[in-house]
Structure 1
Amino acid sequence: MTTEQSKLSQILAAAKAEDRAALIAYLPAGFPTVPGAVTAVQALIDGGVDAVEIGLPHSDPVLDGPTIQTADDIALRGGIRTKDVLETVRQVTTANPDVPVLVMTYWNPVDRYGQTRFAADLAAAGGAGCILPDLPVEEADEWLTAAQQHGLDTVFVVAPSSRDERLGKITAKGSGFVYAAAVMGVTGTRAQVGNLAEDLVRRTRATTDLPVCVGLGVSNAEQAAEVAAFADGVIVGSAFVQRLLDAESEEAGYAAVRELAAELAAGVRKR
């Protein structure tokens, strides 16, 4: 595993020192276009997010709801490739060297690309690590070895259905933070944050000293403040994607993303 001094760990520790949750934002690479994704992610950072997840678009995103599926489809029809995702990471990290940039991806693209090669290329691009929602920890040793060699954090996902024993197995293998899915089901904005989230954070913390960050469903400052009251980080994705989808122009979309990021950044400071 990576050390506590990884870029991601430093950012999460800095937020904790300010007595607030970190704000982590997600957008898929290649959406609305390959260069447009770089601009959109920069708008997130300008709005005040602490860390960024860049999604690797997938043809069968089984854990993602219709909003992210739509964005992935746009990216795939635009010809996005894994090398373009890595180039997006490189451009973002070059412009923002202090902001941790993670790739969130299903396992199949990494396996096809080559685990060791992907870890090396992600590190070379300045990436801070990977979020791997569908990689069982029992099958992760080869990846974890490669990630450790290249200083990458590996974030695993836990869900309300995870039993306590299972939580311990997952958190023992991960680094950076633990991604706690606030609700059962796929990603997407919701009128209310799932009431299972706080209990999941409590149970997860009983197994690890890693920060626990909550995602799936947060779409406004009030929900961000609600989650920030009990979690170490608030993860927002679909709400940003929806802003870009709803915008009348790409420029309007970037402005809308920046505005929402600023609202959410204020929200995580209200706990």
Structure 2
Amino acid sequence: MNKKIKLMSHLVAGYPTDDLAFTAAKALVDGGADILEVQLPFSDPSADGPAIQSACTKVLSRGYKTKDGLAFIEKLHKNFPNVKIYIMSYGSLIYTPGINEFCKKASTAGVTGMIIPDLPFDFDEGLTKACEDNGMINIPVAAPSMSRERLLKMANAGFPYIYAALRTGITGTDTKIDSDTLEFLKSVSSGGSKIYGGFGISTGEQSKALCDYVEGVVAGSVFVRLITENQNDSDKLYEAVKAKAQELTGQI
């Protein structure tokens, strides 16, 4: 068997239904995912491509609330206690109730990390401290569009983990792993932070090309698309998502 690649897999809470979202999560865990990155649906997801935007819109049209997303996370944590759960969402959703209050609720539900792409690492409205106070970590997002000076400032700011978005633009379209990508990852990790690398990762080939340079590979839109394609058959959904997770972790 090949060396297992660490995988952070993304899914949208409540998509397409609560039951099918749980089926997808189980498939991801059974397929070898180490971390579940759960997106709380948001009405203006600026970094997300069409697959995730459509999923968020569908869930929100049911009147889905943040409390529903946290209840879903709590269920995941109870069923898969050894799998890390990170929340991915946007600033206004966690700022509105109060960042410390939100972090307290997230931690209670079983969350250990927060990924909020639109909160800059050095002007994060107190997110890093609120995470620390509640036993979690804040994982800032680095992008190739950042100036080298700013990138190195983030790299040396003492974050345990940094999420490296492997290209500019929206997620969900194909990402080429080339020498520029590896140079970018080298810069992001230069201060000692462990790196999660993602944005447009959908094949085992990409995953293998990345795995020696990152702590974990991140994949999202590929799973959301599989969930969408198989939403009328829970067994097929489970098998498709599980097989893709196995492919991305290098097990098949």
Q: Hey, which bits of structure 1, 4+ residues long, moved more than 3 A?
A: 18-21, 171-176, 191-196
Is 1:244 matched up with 2:224? no
Residue aligning to 1:15: none
Task: Using structure 2 for the length normalisation, give the TM-score.
Answer: 0.92
Residue aligning to 1:133: 117
Q: CA deviation at 1:35?
A: 3.1
Is 1:199 matched up with 2:183? yes
Q: 2:59 aligns with which of 50, 53, 75?
A: 75
Query: Superposition RMSD on alpha carbons, in Å?
Result: 2.0
* Distance change >3 Å, CA 152–CA 48, structure 1 → 2: same
Q: C-alpha distance in 2, partners of 1:185/1:173?
A: 25
Q: C-alpha distance in 2, partners of 1:176/1:94?
A: 25
Is 1:231 matched up with 2:211? no
Task: Using structure 1 for the length normalisation, give the TM-score.
Answer: 0.86
Q: Which secondary structure state, in structure 2, belongs to the residue aligned with residue 91 of structure 1? A: helix
Q: C-alpha distance in 1, partners of 2:102/2:225?
A: 29
Q: CA deviation at 1:174?
A: 6.2
Q: CA deviation at 1:19?
A: 7.4
Residue aligning to 2:40: 56
Residue aligning to 1:9: none
Residue aligning to 1:155: 139
* Distance change >3 Å, CA 92–CA 162, structure 1 → 2: same
* Distance change >3 Å, CA 236–CA 194, structure 1 → 2: farther
**Code of the aligned partner of 1:150:** N
**Code of the aligned partner of 1:229:** D
Q: C-alpha distance in 2, partners of 1:167/1:131?
A: 17
Q: CA deviation at 1:250?
A: 3.2
Q: C-alpha distance in 1, partners of 2:111/2:150?
A: 28
Q: 2:104 aligns with which of 115, 120, 137?
A: 120
Q: CA deviation at 1:60?
A: 0.7
Q: Quick check: 2:112–2:136 contact (8 Å CA) kept in 1? A: yes
Q: C-alpha distance in 2, partners of 1:80/1:171?
A: 36
Q: Quick check: 2:16–2:55 contact (8 Å CA) kept in 1? A: yes
Q: C-alpha distance in 2, partners of 1:38/1:19?
A: 27
Residue aligning to 1:11: none
Q: Deviations over 1:31-74 (max 9, x none)?
A: 01123212211210111011110001111111101111111111
Residue aligning to 1:221: 204
Q: Which runs of 5+ in 1 are unaligned?
A: 1-17
Q: C-alpha distance in 2, partners of 1:157/1:138?
A: 11
Q: Deviations over 1:101-152 (max 9, x none)?
A: 0000111100112211111001101111100111012322522221111111
Q: Which secondary structure state, in structure 2, belongs to the residue aligned with residue 113 of structure 1? A: coil
Is 1:36 matched up with 2:36? no
Work out the percentage of aligned pairs sharing the same amino acid.
33
Q: 1:183 aligns with which of 167, 174, 185?
A: 167
Q: Deviations over 1:175-217 (max 9, x none)?
A: 34111111111010416446632111011122x2111111101
